[in-house]
Amino acid sequence: MPYLTVGEENSAPIDLYYEDHGMGQPVMLIHGYPLSGSSWEKQVPVLLEAGYRVITYDRRGFGKSSQPSIGYDYDTFAGDLKTLMDKLDLRDVVIAGFSMGTGEVVRYLGTYGSERVKRAALFGPIPPFLLQTPDNPKGLPQSVFDGFKETITKDRYAFFKFFFDNFYNVDTFHGTRISDEAWNASFEVAAGSSAYATLACVSTWLTDFRADLPKIDVPLLVVQGTEDRILPIDATGRRLPELVKDIRFVEIEGGPHNVGWTHPDEVNRALMDFLK
């Protein structure tokens, strides 16, 4: 299993677990909170079959990567991504993120540019800016995130129950698009994540990406469910066309946050059309 060292905390290395499969144009897939790179299992086989090289990795604090108590901010996350991109010497890569992973995509392009990047894709995006402020009235109130932190501190497993029920809109799709077994698999991955990272990342969600977005100079695909309860579409995806020059925005009617699992045919079709 390949690992890449991206830093150090005291005497311990900070290692990212990654997987690199196939040949052809590289596609880098960046997972959402609180999952791991394995959450792309309904996209990876489709991309490999179509002749792409597919790279996934686990964000620090999650999956099989190290669980340090430092580095839970998007400048560090984008730096980790750059280290992996440089290590693999990727060229003409497509970088795609889901949920929290969309922040890495946008911050990477805003900070390091598109020298290595051909296209980018955001699924269930967190940009442009999630926090409600006087100059960002479409954001969500600070009290929402304070409530998340309080619940995580008290009982993060109870928080995961609440989170995944709304991640998949279980009240709508249970037994049809999300099984008990798939829900449980997500819960188990989340339960194995760092307790510190689970809490620290809530503050990270409030990153302001409005200065990064105009710097994106590659074609951008955005896909989001209209019934996204984690990152409401009116506060996120529907705001992006006015902030990015070359964008294709696809709404999946009735889709929840994780449309990559519940609506894989629609998501894969949108991604493959975009890549072609």
Catalytic-residue membership of 143: no
Q: Phi/psi zone of residue 150: left (φ > 0), alpha (ψ -120 to 50 degrees), beta?
A: alpha
The residue annotated as part of the active site, out of 80, 212, 257, 263, is: 257
Catalytic-residue membership of 228: yes
Token output for 6: 């991206």
The residue annotated as part of the active site, out of 15, 58, 212, 228, is: 228
Token output for 141: 């109130």
The residue annotated as part of the active site, out of 36, 99, 193, 194, is: 99
The number of angstroms, rounded, from the C-alpha of 21 to the middle of its chain's C-alpha atoms is 20
Alpha carbons within 13 angstroms on the beta-carbon side of residue 67 total: 15
**How, if at all, do strands 12-21 and 53-57 pair?**
antiparallel
Please, which residues have CB within 8 angstroms of residue 214's CB and are 6 or more apart in sequence? 243, 244, 245
Alpha carbons within 13 angstroms on the beta-carbon side of residue 159 total: 21
Instruction: Fill in the DSSP letter of residue 178.
Output: B
Catalytic-residue membership of 257: yes
Residues labelled as active-site residues: 99, 228, 257
